[in-house]
Structure 1
Amino acid sequence: MKRAVGKSTCPMNMFLEVFGDPWTLLVLRDMLLVGKRRPVEFLDSAERISTSVLLDRLKRLEAANLVARVGSGERNQVHYVPTERAVDALPVLFEMALWSMEHEPHAQPLDQVITRIRSDPDDYIAEIRAELDREMSESAGAGR
């Protein structure tokens, strides 16, 4: 993603430029932890993202090299997969979830996700990476 000349290079600012709106984080959550890939799947989340906002966030995530668009140009054939860069953000996303669990009394996480984050986050990330590797291998094989 190109940066405008003169913009702050503060690491926190740069992080917020990529991840600084709720929809971006929720799309990544659904992609990385729930396995959603097709735009129609994201529309079925409890947060009720609109189609236009979803497509905008997917474009932004693609421009930031956090997701890759896969499939033909036909609407129902396109899906998105998280990149290594997105997976590398998982420890930060995990810490945000744990903070919310401790400080927000109404937080209701996916129990199996929080259990995995608390018990062995590194192993959980390794499993997510392995699943993405399998998924990408299958996609590459299908394209032959």
Structure 2
Amino acid sequence: MKNQKKRSDCPVSYSLEAFGDKWSLLIVRDLLMKKECTYGDFAKAEEKIATNILASRLLSLEENGIIQKLEHPDSKAKVLYRLTQKGIDLVPILVEINLWAEKYTEIPDCRKEILSKMHTNKEEFIKNTIKDLKK
């Protein structure tokens, strides 16, 4: 967070200011799964984020250096969003959030395969995910 005043010097507080709202990590999740997304891709996610909130969160994540805008190869009217290195560094956190959630909630069958991969070799899963994002 460049020019924003921090509430405190606490690392948890800093992290929450950067990505600790209801929507930001879902945007990061989508970018982890697809590498690049358009505004429309995010708007179609199953969580049904309102367009004004989506625009606000994309701007906030960009200002915090977690995502970047890229030119869309097929349309000058669209942009692509992609994780920066700072965003890619959230991979281990998202893995842990997934594993935590698995302990306390019912996981749909469509998500169980990826959780199985995380359990099998968490460090290898993280390493391969980061490698794929950097391609």
TM normalised by structure 1 equals 0.79
Number of the residue aligned with 1:18: 18
Query: Unaligned regions of 5+ residues in structure 2, if any?
Result: none
Task: State the alpha-carbon separation in 1 of the partners of residues 34 and 113 from structure 2.
Answer: 11
SS of 1:110's partner is helix
Query: Unaligned regions of 5+ residues in structure 1, if any?
Result: 135-144
Change beyond 3 A, Cα 1:70–1:36: closer
Q: CA RMSD in A?
A: 2.1
Counterpart contact for 1:68–1:81, Cα < 8 Å: yes
Q: Offset at 1:57?
A: 0.9
User: Once structures 1 and 2 are overlaid, which stretch shifts more, 16-25 or 32-41?
Assistant: 32-41
Query: Letter of the aligned partner of 1:44 in structure 2?
Result: K
| Structure 1 residue runs of 4 or more that deviate by more than 4 Å after TM superposition | none
Query: Letter of the aligned partner of 2:77 in structure 1?
Result: R
Number of the residue aligned with 2:83: 82
Q: Show CA shifts across 1:37-67 (max 9, x none).
A: 1111112211011222112111111111111
SS of 2:4's partner is coil
SS of 2:5's partner is coil
Change beyond 3 A, Cα 1:86–1:23: same
- Percent identity between the aligned chains? 27
